[in-house]
């Protein structure tokens, strides 16, 4: 393409290419486009075939549809139209350039390996066309290339990684949302959102709809709920799936409806309003969890093979089993272990699982069933509304014991004792596994141990109304430990 004919500097339109940054506030790419002083053209391009092996799954597509719908309204209120396209990203960007006479394209970086490679090519092609093409940093708190150990290598252990992040300075104040944007004089064509066909057919998303409010207003409301009611008790309650003890910000953070910097600064303001010293709030467990998100993103940049392969190479020799029937039972929440089944049914119904239960269900798949972690990660990818390549990869490799700073393989979560400890009344299980709802708390995490009369009184018929355990915890644990010994000998 020939270089576009230049208009007065600063007056030609600038394109903001939106991807996983579906917000107007604290959006560095949007801010950079506004600073040119001319019209702004926000563009979203649906191009799942460019995402390599990880195109967005069903639950993510549902979320994206809702979130884009909200974003259309937010841009309209600011005076411009969000242009929606479908097709090859470069081609569509160049078409919008041609249609509007834009001279610059800005976007916020993403870190998935296929996207990094694609974006590099697009940046080169845009520059070769005589356009200003700039990527900005908006997803992590720190740029991955800036956090290194003393030997100049990426960290593989969380604690020194996060200590180095904290020492490298406070995240800045979030950028304000632009109040008014100038539309281009020549308006490019846009598809209706429905043309992207992101909503499921047939409709299975009622559970998701009931559980979530996608979009930046929903993100802000969730953050406010958490600041008012969860932050100060987070360190204690975060492990309790029966309580709403965590922020539930993960899908909002994944889609960039809120930035980690906005969350960080909201926590800081909250702490300061209560006269809590910085030395205390900066070490709050909640901010440390944002640190794990940061760690996951940095690891994905430095070890781009890890969504498919273990970081610790000896695990490539692990003698995993093949058992499609067990995998199906796990996916459907019919393993006979109530906490595991509750988690997987929560996932299917609401698109989310509590972190403690994610660890329990992942450990059960990998260690008790001895099935490889990759199909588990794939299942999460398709069913989670917060499916995130960096966090999902870290979570699965951590649980399987084959990743960075991972739980040792011999740490095998026991779903019975985890249930008794973190869901002591059984209310989480009762909610998601209604066929056990009438069992007393003493038996709810191990119904196979309940006296027959108790089962009968609760209307539970093992093997019929609820499955018997598909494996023995004791035997499967021994088999897993022996398999592990074989790869470490
Ligand atoms: P909070 O406890 O309120 O934490 C605040 C934020 O910190 C989260 O929204 C998230 O962005 C980040 N965070 C918290 N814990 C972690 C963690 N362990 N690793 C990385 N970031 C973290 N998280 C995802 O966002 N997407 C995934 O696809 C994903 N897959 C996972 C798979 C497995 C097997 C495991 C064990 C964990 C996975 N996690 C994933 C991490 C974690 O479970 C979720 O981020 C968390 O449960 C989201 O709930 P929340 O927003 O209430 O978290």
Report CA(78)–ligand 1 centroid distance (Å). 32
399 to 235, 351, 364, 396: CA distances (angstroms): 21, 20, 10, 5
d(CA 117, CA 139): 17
- pLDDT value of position 466: 98
C-alpha torsion angle, residues 474, 373, 149, 408 (rounded to 10): 10
Q: Report the DSSP pairing between strands 83-86 and 40-46.
A: parallel
**Spatial CB neighbours of 482, under 8 Å, sequence gap ≥ 6:** none
Distance in Å, CA 40 to ligand 1 centroid: 34
Helices (H) and strands (E) in the chain, counts: 22, 5
* Residue 320 annotated among the catalytic residues of the structure: yes
Q: Please answer whether residues 373 and 365 qualify as being in contact, where contact means their C-beta atoms are separated by less than 8 angstroms.
A: yes
Taking the alpha carbons at both ends of the chain, their separation in whole angstroms is: 59
Predicted confidence at residue 6, as pLDDT, reads 45
From residue 141, how far is each of 154, 260, 305, 399 by CA, in Å? 16, 6, 23, 25
Spell out the residues 6+ positions from residue 56 whose beta carbon is closer than 8 angstroms to its own. 48, 64, 387
448 is catalytic: no
Verify whether residue 432 is a known catalytic residue: no
User: Which of 281, 284, 320, 448 is an active site residue?
Assistant: 320
One digit per residue, the tens of pLDDT, for the chain of length 489 reads: 344 444 455 589 999 999 999 999 999 999 999 999 999 999 999 999 999 999 999 999 999 999 999 999 999 999 999 999 999 999 999 999 999 999 999 999 999 999 999 999 999 999 999 999 999 998 899 999 899 999 999 999 999 999 999 999 889 999 999 999 999 999 999 999 999 999 999 999 999 999 999 999 999 999 999 999 999 999 999 999 999 899 999 999 999 999 999 999 999 999 999 999 999 999 999 999 999 999 999 999 999 999 999 999 999 999 999 999 999 999 999 999 999 999 999 999 999 999 999 999 999 999 999 999 999 999 999 999 999 999 999 999 999 999 888 788 888 999 999 999 999 999 999 999 999 999 999 999 999 999 999 999 999 999 999 999 999 999 999 999 999 988 887
> Phi and psi for 36 in degrees, rounded to 5?
-70, -20
Q: Which of 289, 296, 344, 367 to mutate to test the pocket of ligand 1 (most atoms within 8 A of CB)?
A: 289
Q: Which atom of ligand 1 is nearest to the CA of 230?
A: 3
pTM of the model: 0.96
Q: Residue 408 has what pLDDT? A: 85
**SS3 letters for 63-98?**
HHHHHHHHHHHHHHHHCCCCEEEECCHHHHHHHHHH
Predicted local confidence at residue 5, as pLDDT: 43
What the block records as the tokens of 188 is 């490019």
Confidence (pLDDT) at 489? 74
Atom of ligand 1 nearest to the CA of 396: 34
Residue nearest to atom 9 of ligand 1 (CA): 250
Q: Is 132 exposed, middle or buried (0-12, 13-18, 19+ CB in 10 A)?
A: middle
Residue nearest to atom 29 of ligand 1 (CA): 392
Q: Could you tell me if residue 77 is left (phi over 0), alpha (psi between -120 and 50 degrees) or otherwise beta?
A: alpha
Pick the atom of ligand 1 nearest to 381's CA.
28
Q: Which residues line ligand 1 (CB under 6 A)?
A: 238, 246-250, 253-254, 289-290, 292-293, 296, 355, 358-359, 362, 380, 384, 386-388, 391-392, 394-396, 399
Contacts of 464 (CB under 8 A, 6+ apart): none
Best residue among 250, 400, 418 to mutate for probing ligand 1, ranked by most atoms within 8 Å of CB: 250
Distance CA 364, CA 485 (A): 18
* Alpha-carbon distances of 25 from 138, 250, 258, rounded to whole Å: 11, 18, 8
From the candidates 289, 323, 420, 448, give the one annotated as an active-site residue: 289
> One of 123, 355, 420, 448 is an active-site residue; which one?
355
* 414 is annotated as an active-site residue: no
Q: Whose CA is nearest to atom 43 of ligand 1?
A: 355
- CA 410 to ligand 1 centroid distance, Å: 23
What sign does the CA torsion over 66, 68, 70, 76 have? Answer: negative
- Is-catalytic flag, 284? no
Q: Which of 162, 373, 379, 443 is catalytic?
A: 373
With CA atoms as reference, report the closest residue to 380 among 370, 368, 389.
389
Which pLDDT value is given to residue 139?
Answer: 82
β-pairing, 40-46 with 132-136?
unpaired
Instruction: Check if 396 is active-site.
Output: yes
């Amino acid at each position: 393409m020939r270089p576009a004919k230049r208009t007065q500097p600063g007056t030609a339109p600038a394109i903001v290419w939106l991807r996983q940054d579906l917000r107007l506030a604290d959006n560095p790419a949007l801010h950079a486009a506004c600073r040119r002083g001319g019209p702004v053209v926000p563009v979203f391009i649906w191009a799942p075939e460019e995402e390599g092996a990880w195109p967005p799954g069903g639950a993510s597509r549902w979320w994206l549809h809702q979130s884009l719908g909200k974003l259309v309204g937010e841009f309209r209120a600011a005076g411009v139209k969000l242009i929606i396209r479908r097709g090859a990203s470069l081609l569509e960007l160049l078409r919008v350039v041609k249609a509007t006479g834009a001279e610059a394209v800005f976007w916020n970086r993403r870190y998935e390996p296929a996207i990094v490679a694609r974006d590099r090519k697009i940046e080169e092609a845009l520059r070769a066309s005589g356009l200003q093409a700039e990527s900005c940093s908006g997803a992590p708190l720190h740029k991955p290339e800036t956090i290194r150990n003393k030997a100049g290598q990426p960290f593989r252990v969380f604690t020194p990684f996060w200590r180095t992040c904290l020492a490298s300075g406070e995240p800045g104040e979030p950028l304000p949302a632009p109040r008014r944007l100038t539309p281009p004089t020549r308006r490019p064509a846009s598809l209706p959102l429905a043309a992207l066909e992101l909503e499921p057919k047939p409709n299975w998303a009622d559970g998701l709809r009931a559980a979530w409010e996608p979009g930046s207003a929903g993100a802000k409301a969730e953050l406010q709920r958490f600041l008012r009611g969860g932050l100060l008790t987070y360190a204690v309650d975060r492990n309790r799936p029966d309580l709403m003890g965590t922020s539930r910000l993960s899908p909002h953070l994944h889609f960039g409806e809120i930035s980690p910097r906005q969350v960080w600064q909201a926590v800081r303001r909250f702490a300061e309003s209560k006269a809590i010293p910085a030395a205390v709030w900066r070490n709050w467990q909640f901010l440390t969890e944002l640190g794990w998100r940061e760690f996951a993103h940095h690891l994905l940049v430095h070890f781009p093979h890890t969504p498919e392969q273990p970081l610790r190479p000896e695990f490539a020799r692990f003698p995993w089993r093949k058992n499609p029937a067990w995998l199906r039972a796990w996916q459907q929440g019919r393993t006979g272990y109530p906490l595991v089944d509750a988690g997987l049914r929560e996932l299917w119904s609401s698109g989310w699982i509590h972190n403690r239960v994610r660890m329990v269900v992942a450990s059960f798949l990998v260690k008790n069933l001895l099935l490889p972690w990759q199909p588990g990660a794939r299942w999460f990818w398709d069913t989670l509304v917060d499916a995130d390549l960096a966090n999902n990869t870290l979570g699965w490799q951590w649980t399987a014991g084959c990743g960075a700073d991972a739980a040792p393989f011999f740490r095998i979560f026991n779903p019975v004792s985890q249930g008794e400890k973190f869901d002591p009344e059984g209310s989480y299980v009762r909610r998601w596994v209604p066929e056990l709802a009438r069992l007393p708390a003493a038996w709810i995490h191990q119904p196979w141990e309940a006296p027959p009369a108790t089962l009968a009184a609760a209307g539970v018929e093992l093997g019929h109304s609820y499955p018997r355990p598909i494996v023995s915890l004791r035997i499967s644990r021994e088999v897993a430990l022996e398999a592990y010994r074989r790869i470490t000998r």
